[in-house]
Amino acid sequence: MEAATGSRRLLRRLRDVMAGSGTAQERLNEVVRIVAADMVAEVCSCYVMRAGEVLELFATEGLRPEAVHRTRLRVGEGLVGVVAATASPLALADAQSHPDFAYRPETGEEVYHSLMGVPILRGGRVLGVLVVQNRTQRNYTEDEIEALQTIAMVLAELAASGELVSPVELAPSNGIGLLPTRLDGVKLNAGLAIGVAVLHEPRVVIRQVVAEDPQAELVRLRAAIDAMQSAIDDLLAQSDIAAGGEHRDVLETYRMFAADRGWLQRMTDAVRSGLTAEAAVQKVQDETRARMSKVSDPYLRERLADLEDLASRLQQHLAGRHFAVEAALPSEFILIARSMGPAELLDYDRRRLKGLVLEEGSPTAHVAVVARALDIPVIGRAKDVLEKVEAGDLVVVDADEQQVFLRPSEDIQQAVAARLELRLGQRLSYAALRNLPATTRCGTCVALQLNAGLLLDLPHLDDTGAEGVGLFRTELLFMMRHDFPTVSQQASIYRRVLEHAGERPVTFRTLDIGGDKLLPYMAEIEDENPAMGWRAIRIGLDRPALLRQQLRALIRAAAGRRLRVMFPMIAEIGELDAARAMLDLELERAGARGGSLPAKIEVGIMFEVPALFWELPQLLSRIDFLSVGTNDLVQFLFAADRGNPRLAERYDPVSVPVLQLLSEVARACDAAKVPLTLCGEMAGQPLDAMALIGIGFRTLSMAPASIGPVKAMVRSLELAPLEALLAGLATLPPRTLRGKLHDFARDHAVAL
- Positions touching Mg ion (CB under 5 A) are 629, 632
Cβ nearer to ligand PEP, comparing 119 with 680: 680
* Residue 479 φ then ψ, to 5°: -70, -25
Q: Does 512 bind ligand PEP (CB under 6 A)?
A: yes
Q: Spot the catalytic one: 247, 366, 460, 482.
A: 366
CB 682 → ligand PEP: shortest distance, Å?
8
Residues paired with 211 in a beta bridge: none
Residue 155 backbone dihedrals phi, psi, to 5 degrees: -65, -30
**Based on CB atoms, which residue is closest to ligand PEP, 347 or 512?**
512
Size of the site for ligand PEP (CB under 6 A): 10
Rounded to a whole number of angstroms, the minimum distance from the CB of residue 629 to Mg ion is: 4
Phi and psi at residue 55, to the nearest 5°: -100, 125
Q: Which 162-191 positions form the footprint of ligand PEP (CB under 6 A)? A: none
Closer residue to ligand PEP in complex, CB, 457/608: 608
Kindly state the DSSP code that residue 654 receives in the 8-state scheme: S
Minimum distance of Mg ion from residue 606's CB (angstroms): 6
Beta-sheet strands, E only, within 592-674: 600-607, 625-628
SS3 175: helix
The answer to whether the Cα torsion of 521, 479, 298, 264 is positive or negative is: negative
Q: Are strands 699-702 and 447-452 parallel, antiparallel or unpaired?
A: parallel
Distance between CA atoms of residues 459 and 476, nearest Å: 17
- CB of 470 vs ligand PEP, minimal distance in Å: 9
Sequence-separated (6 or more) residues with CB below 8 Å from residue 577 = 622
CB of 450 to ligand PEP, least distance (A): 12
286 contact choice in ligand PEP, Mg ion, none (CB below 5 to 8 Å, kind-dependent): none
Yes or no: say if 584 and 548 are a contact pair by the CB < 8 Å rule.
no
Q: Judged by CB, which is closer to Mg ion: 217, or 632?
A: 632
Q: Which of ligand PEP, Mg ion, none sits in contact with 679, Cβ below 5 to 8 A by type?
A: ligand PEP
Question: Of how many residues is the chain composed?
Answer: 752
> What are the backbone angles phi and psi of residue 507, rounded to the nearest 5°?
-105, 110
Gap between the Cα atoms of 283 and 544, Å rounded: 46
Q: How far is the CB of 698 from Mg ion (least distance, A)?
A: 21
How do strand 43-50 and strand 125-134 relate by DSSP bridges? Answer: antiparallel
Looking at residues 609 to 648 of the shown chain, list those that interact with ligand PEP (rule: CB under 6 A): 629-632
Question: What string of DSSP letters covers 88-106?
Answer: S-EEESSGGGSTT----GG
Residue 586 touches which of Mg ion, ligand PEP, none (Cβ within 5-8 Å per kind): none
Q: Which is nearer to ligand PEP, 122 or 473 (CB)?
A: 473
366 counts as catalytic: yes
91 contact, one of ligand PEP, Mg ion, none, CB 5-8 Å limit per kind: none
Taking the complex as a whole, how short is the minimal distance between the CB of residue 687 and ligand PEP, in angstroms? Answer: 17
510 near ligand PEP, judged by CB under 6 A:
no
Q: Which residues pair with 124 in a beta bridge?
A: none
Q: Min. distance of Cβ 305 from Mg ion in angstroms? A: 28
First to last CA, the chain: 73
- CB 539 to ligand PEP: min, Å: 14
Nearer to Mg ion, 78 or 629 (CB): 629
| Binding letters toward ligand PEP, positions 424-463, x by CB under 6 A | ----------------------------------------
316 binds ligand PEP per the rule CB under 6 A: no
Which of 485, 680 has the CB closer to ligand PEP?
680
- Pick between residue 31 and residue 466 the one whose CB is nearest to ligand PEP: 466
Q: Which is nearer to Mg ion, 38 or 632 (CB)?
A: 632
The partner residues of 379 in beta bridges, in order of sequence, read: 187, 357
Residue 680 interacts with which of Mg ion, ligand PEP, none, CB < 5 to 8 Å by class: ligand PEP
The residue among 359 and 608 lying less far from ligand PEP, judged by its C-beta, is: 608
Phi, psi of 354 (to 5 degrees): -105, -25
Point out the catalytic residue in the list 44, 46, 669, 679.
Answer: 679
Please count the other Cβ atoms lying within 10 Å of the Cβ belonging to residue 440.
19
The 3-state secondary structure of 531-564, one letter per residue: HHCCCCHHHHHHCHHHHHHHHHHHHHHCECCEEE
Sketch the per residue contact string, 657 through 686, with ligand PEP: x for CB under 6 A, - otherwise.
----------------------xx------
Smallest distance, Å, CB 515 to ligand PEP?
A: 7
Q: Which of residues 465-484 bind ligand PEP (CB under 6 A)?
A: 471, 473
What is the nearest approach in angstroms of ligand PEP to the Cβ of residue 480? 15
- Residue with smaller CB distance to ligand PEP, 343 or 477: 477
CA–CA dist 437, 545 (Å, integer): 42
**Could you say which DSSP state residue 655 is in?**
B
d(CA 699, CA 445) in angstroms, rounded, equals 9
CB of 567 to ligand PEP, least distance (A): 12
Residue nearest to Mg ion (CB): 632
Cα 720 to Cα 725: distance, rounded to the nearest angstrom? 9
Q: Which of 566, 578, 571 is nearest to 604 (CA)?
A: 566
Q: How far apart are CA 191 and CA 420, in angstroms?
A: 10
Contact letters (x/-) for ligand PEP, 539-578, by CB under 6 A?
Answer: ----------------------------------------
Q: Which is nearer to Mg ion, 415 or 531 (CB)?
A: 531
Q: How far is CA 368 from CA 400, 434, 734, in A?
A: 15, 27, 37
Residue 73 is inside which H or E element, if any?
strand 72-74
Cα 202 from Cα 271, distance rounded (Å): 22
Paired residues of 336 in beta bridges = 199, 357
Contact letters for ligand PEP, residues 584-613 (x by CB under 6 A): ------------------------x-----
Q: What is the DSSP string of 214-264?
A: HHHHHHHHHHHHHHHHHHHHHHHHSHHHHT-SHHHHHHHHHHHHHT-HHHH
Is residue 344 within 8 A of residue 310, CB to CB? The reply is no
Work out the number of other CB atoms within 10 angstroms of the CB of residue 21. Answer: 6
From Mg ion, ligand PEP, none, interface partner of 90 (C-beta below 5 to 8 A by class): none
Footprint (CB under 6 A) of ligand PEP, residues 5-64: none
CA distance 702 to 471: 8
CB 554 within 8 A of CB 578: no
CB 700 within 8 A of CB 708: no
What distance in Å separates the CA atoms of residue 709 and residue 42, rounded to the nearest whole number?
A: 73
Which residues form the interface with ligand PEP (CB under 6 A)? 471, 473, 512, 608, 629-632, 679-680
Catalytic residue numbers, as ranges: 366, 679
